Each structure stands twice: as structure tokens, then as C-alpha cells.
Amino acid sequence: MSKVVIPIHPTKDAEKAGAMQGASKQRKREAPKGRRVDPQALAEVQALLGDAPRTADMLIEHLHKIQDHYKALSAAHLAALAQELRLAQTEVYEVATFYHHFDVVKENEAMPAGLTVRVCNGLSCEMAGAQSLLDRLPALLGAEVRVIAAPCIGRCEQAPAVVVGQHGIAQADLVKVEAAVQSGQLSAEVGHYMDYAAYQAQGGYALLKECVSGNRELESVLRTMEDSGLRGLGGAGFPAGRKWRIVGAEAGPRLMAVNIDEGEPGTFKDRFHLERDPHRFLEGMLIAAWAVGIADIYIYLRDEYHACRAILEQELVRLRTEPPIANMPTIHLRRGAGAYICGEESAMIESIEGKRGIPRLRPPYVAQVGLFGRPTLQHNFETLFWVRDILEKGGAWFGAQGRNGRKGLRSFSVSGRVKNPGVKLAPAGITIQELIDEYCGGMADGEVLYAYLPGGASGGILPASMNTIPLDFDTLQPHGCFIGSAAVVVLSERDSAVNAARNLMHFFQHESCGQCTPCRAGTAKASALIAQVHWDLPLLAELSTVMRDASICGLGQAAPNPVDCVVKYFPHELNPVNQ
């Protein structure tokens, strides 16, 4: 039997093996990178998203849909969402883990309790007994309810404030919270407000129609805004009329971003006005859009304002259904997710674009390169709230409202040891003593003024002896403070400036975005230093200088203010380490 010899062709065999290996590599490249997407999770995400756009800027909105429905964000749902939006899973994960209100559940981790109770531990609520609630509620409510400390939730006049699900509780105590949990009262309560029909019946949107029809000239409107002296009431204080001219001079298309993310501890004025008269703000916003030539408007609302969101969603539908003018700009309502840093204009813009709220380096400024790379008019809610009154009554009217040589009106958010806390519409330049006596009914019974915060957590702390300083832009800086968004927190003689500074620095540490080392490490180091009985004053002074000089944005630059003010104005409370 002859032996069969099979010829060997090295070249052809190598080519065949190479082709098979190449095909294998190609198949591997075609497979999705990272976690494989679970078909059921993908179907669930697709059902939740419905026909909503699958664009990257909608990432945070879609994360909210999943979180609201499933009470948490599982790894499977995050992977499915990444595939739907054609994003890398790492992009989705880093955004989801950046914001405090998203609960990301890792593989093999237990889901969080079905109900979350948030107890505000901001300064005003801490003074009103929030810590006692945090200590006692977990045992009272049981393991089925998660009780967590939350940074300021914008209800400082209701201290101590608690949110059960989305239901806010004012002057909360154990009985009120337990009753809300047991009754299942978890939704936000929308109170009475002036809706679209009622606003129109009182002359609303007539001014907007005059502007669009040409009955009011653009130059006249711009001059009136400039003559009024209205400055940005979110805290920066940039002249509003000048900002309209600057952005209007940029090449189109131009966009608009409205900041209603008032996360500054002590601030709640925007919520107060929005819950009562939303269309006064919306008309001012549309007039600004007309004056600057805005194509699209993005309203950024903090997630804690559930009732405000319900109001805006309803009223924006009415505006779209029965628009007061033709060719009205498209209005997008975007939902924050629990990040104080997004009150900074460029961080807010990053968040609107579906990213982490990380402040941008400047220049360029948002007026030139803002949302989606376009020139952007950025305004705070209250700034736009005043537009209608100013244009109807005149710039001179608004400018004449001030006191002690200052111009305009301010919505002061007053909380703490006063008899009647709340939003006080008062002349710019009023003093703290005048504000307490004339607008707050005086100090609360038995309380004596000891100290006050003129501008929220980052505005510094002043002693009662400095109670004649006009509260306005530019008047407080010589004393190491600023007015910011006019969040006034009043301390009495039973309070401590040292403890207030500890509370505020803990807040800054918690809310630092972590982008720059001076802020990320500085707030943590300062918090640890002032937690000590004996303060190392030279080291704190050096740390303050570094944070002010080297931090990227206002959070890190202003975070040392409370500590520096304690050292300067309340030395009797300190035990320096070198004593």
C-alpha cells in the first residue's frame, strides 16, 4: 500500500491562519467594549425614554427618569443607557456618580431603601435642631426608610426642614415626619400661584408684545435697563443692561441659560417668587431673549425644588400651546441633580450639556463661548424677575428705591433667630439692624443679636457691633464679606461663630467639585483644622491665601471667608494653638 503524501504549502497555510486570526480580531473589535448590555435592562431603559432625544446633553435628564422609576441606578441600566446614547460607559458612570441625588448601585450591592428622608443640616436648620432629627429618625422610621443628612435644600425660613420623598416639611419634628412616612405623602405640594390666565388678566405679556411689535425700541429698552442700575442678583452683580449689549453684539446663533440652582446656604428667594408668580420671571426672560436675539433658552432648576418644577412644567406647556408672541424661542427645562457647584455659571452650562458640573477656565467667557460653544446670555432668576417692573415703571423708579446711598430693591432671604423669617423685599443698602427691626418683627423672643451672615455661606460673618453697614454690592468687601445673593442668616448670643464656621466649611468640603487641588484639599484641610479645640492661626492664614489665589472658581476662593471672619471679629471664641 503506497503512502499518501500531503503537500505542505507554508505560504498558503500562513495566509489562511493570518486570515482566521484577522477575522477573530475583527469579531472582537465589533463586540461592545466594557460591560455587555443586558437585553432586559435595555428594553426597560428604552421604554422609560420613549421618544425622547438620544443626545448626550440629555444624559442627566435620562438618569433622572431611571432613578425616579427604579429608586436607584443599577450597573445594568447605566450600561444600557450608554448604548442608547452612544456614549462610553465610563462617561455615563462618571456623570451619575458626580451628582449627590443619583444612587449608583454597584454589582452585588443592595438596593437603597425604597424611601429617602433628607434632613437639611445647613446652618439655619442646624441652629433649629436638625441634628436631633438625624440622631432619632432612623430608629423611629426603621430600616425600610433611609435617613440622610442633606446640604441646604432652600427652605431655610422653614428650619428645621425635611423632605420625605419629594414632600417638604416645614418646622419638622418627629411627629410630622413619621406621619408623612406612614401616610405615604411623598409628592411635592403645589400651592396657589398666579397661572398663565390670571397673569394675562393683570396685563401680563403686554410688555413683551410691545417689544416684539416694535412699539418699544430696542435701544430704549437697553438704556432703561442700564439706567436702572440692575445688577446680577445671583451674586456676581454684573450690570444686566451691559450684559445684554455684550451678548447681543456676538455672532449668532445666541443661547440663554437661566440659573435657578440657588444652592447657597441661606438662600431661598428664587423658590419663594417662583412658587407665587412664575410668569413675571418668564416674561422678563422672554424680553431679554428678544433684546439679545436668543434662539433657545435653557432653564436650569435645582432638583430640590420639586413644586417649582411641577409649576414650570405646567406653565411652559400653556405658553407653548397659546404663545403670547409668534416665533417664540424654544424653552428647555433642565433638572439639576444635587450639586452646589452648578450655581457657578460655567459649571451650570457643563451640567446642561449633560456633563459633570466642573467649572471652566476663563477666558473665554460664556458671553462668547458658552452653551454648546455658542455666545450665551446667563442670568439669575431674580434678575429677570425685575425686568417687567423696570421697563414699565422706568429705570429711575428702580434706582430710587435704595437706602443709605444705594440703588434698587433686593429680595433678602432672612433666616435664623428672627421673629419672622422669610423673603423680605427691601431697599438695597438697608442695614442688618433695619432689616431685622422693620421687616422681621425684631429678634425672636428672648434672643439678642450676636452675629450675622450678610451673603450666605460664602459671604462671611460679622459681629452685632457692625450692624450699620449698608447691605449691597461693594459695601461689604472692605470688611472681608460680600452680599452675594442676599442670604442673611442671623445668629443670637446662644450661637457660636466658631460652630457656624465649622458647619459652613463642612458644606464647602462636601460640595467641592474636586477639579482643583487648592479647593479640594484646602476645604478638607481647613475643616480638619477648625474642628480642633486649638486653631493653628498661621497655618489657616497660609491656607486661606493659597485657596483664594489658586482656586479655579468662586467656591474655593470664597470658602475661607467664614474662617477668616471668625479670626478677625471673634477672637474671644478662639484658643490659638500657639497660646
d(CA 540, CA 337): 32
Asked whether the beta carbons of 81 and 93 are under 8 A apart, the reply is no
Per-residue confidence (pLDDT) for residue 20, from 0 to 100 = 53
Would you give per-residue pLDDT tens digits along the chain (579 residues)? 444 443 444 444 545 555 555 555 555 445 445 679 999 999 999 999 999 999 999 999 999 999 999 999 999 999 999 999 999 999 999 999 999 999 999 888 888 888 999 999 999 999 999 999 999 999 999 999 999 999 999 999 999 999 999 999 999 999 999 999 999 989 999 999 999 999 999 999 999 999 999 999 999 999 999 999 999 999 889 999 999 999 999 999 999 999 999 999 999 999 999 999 999 999 999 999 999 999 999 999 999 999 999 999 999 999 999 999 999 999 999 999 999 999 999 999 999 999 999 999 999 999 999 999 999 999 999 999 999 999 999 999 999 999 999 999 999 999 999 999 999 999 999 999 999 999 999 999 999 999 999 999 999 999 999 999 999 999 999 999 999 999 999 999 999 999 999 999 999 999 999 999 999 999 999 999 999 999 999 999 999 999 999 999 999 999 999 999 999 999 999 988 755
Q: Is 499 exposed, middle or buried (0-12, 13-18, 19+ CB in 10 A)?
A: middle
Strands (E) across 85-169 are located at: 104-105, 115-120, 145-150, 162-164, 167-169
All residues at 6 or more sequence positions from 178 whose CB lies less than 8 Å from its CB, including other chains: 140, 141
Per-residue confidence (pLDDT) for residue 571, from 0 to 100 = 97
| Residue where the block lists cell 433666616 | 415
Asked whether the beta carbons of 374 and 363 are under 8 A apart, the reply is no
Task: Name the strand (E) or helix (H) holding 250.
Answer: none
Give me the count of residues in the chain: 579
C-alpha cell at 252: 449668532
Strands (E) across 50-144 are located at: 73-74, 104-105, 115-120
Would you call 326 helix, strand, or coil by DSSP? coil
Task: Name the strand (E) or helix (H) holding 349.
Answer: helix 345-352
Strands (E) across 366-408 are located at: 376-380
Would you call 67 helix, strand, or coil by DSSP? helix
160 preceded by cis ω (within 30°)? Answer: yes
Burial pattern 378-402, b for ≥16 Cβ within 10 A else e, equals: bbbbbbbbbbbbbbeeebeebbebb
Burial pattern 107-124, b for ≥16 Cβ within 10 A else e, equals: eeeeeebebbbbbbbbbb
pLDDT 10s digits, 157-213: 999 999 999 999 999 999 999 999 999 989 999 999 999 999 999 999 999 999 999
- Give the dihedral sign, CA 523/524/527/528: negative
Task: Name the strand (E) or helix (H) holding 492.
Answer: strand 487-492
d(CA 239, CA 219): 16
d(CA 187, CA 508): 29
| Residue where the block lists cell 414699565 | 392
Angstrom distances, CA of residue 359 to CA of 344, 370, 457, 551 = 7, 12, 19, 11
d(CA 163, CA 119): 7
Task: Name the strand (E) or helix (H) holding 463.
Answer: strand 462-463
Smallest CA-to-CA distance from 41 within 10, 8, 78 is with 78
Smallest CA-to-CA distance from 555 within 518, 516, 519, 517 is with 519
Asked whether the beta carbons of 524 and 547 are under 8 A apart, the reply is no
Asked whether the beta carbons of 287 and 328 are under 8 A apart, the reply is no
Q: pTM for the full model?
A: 0.93
Residue type, position 278, single letter: P
Per-residue confidence (pLDDT) for residue 31, from 0 to 100 = 44
| Residue where the block lists cell 442627566 | 60
Asked whether the beta carbons of 430 and 258 are under 8 A apart, the reply is no
User: Within its chain, how far is the Cα of 386 from the centroid?
Assistant: 21
Angstrom distances, CA of residue 196 to CA of 204, 276, 326 = 8, 12, 17
Per-residue confidence (pLDDT) for residue 439, from 0 to 100 = 98
Smallest CA-to-CA distance from 413 within 152, 122, 156, 129 is with 156
Q: Is 127 exposed, middle or buried (0-12, 13-18, 19+ CB in 10 A)?
A: buried
**Antiparallel, parallel or unpaired: β 104-105 and 73-74:** parallel
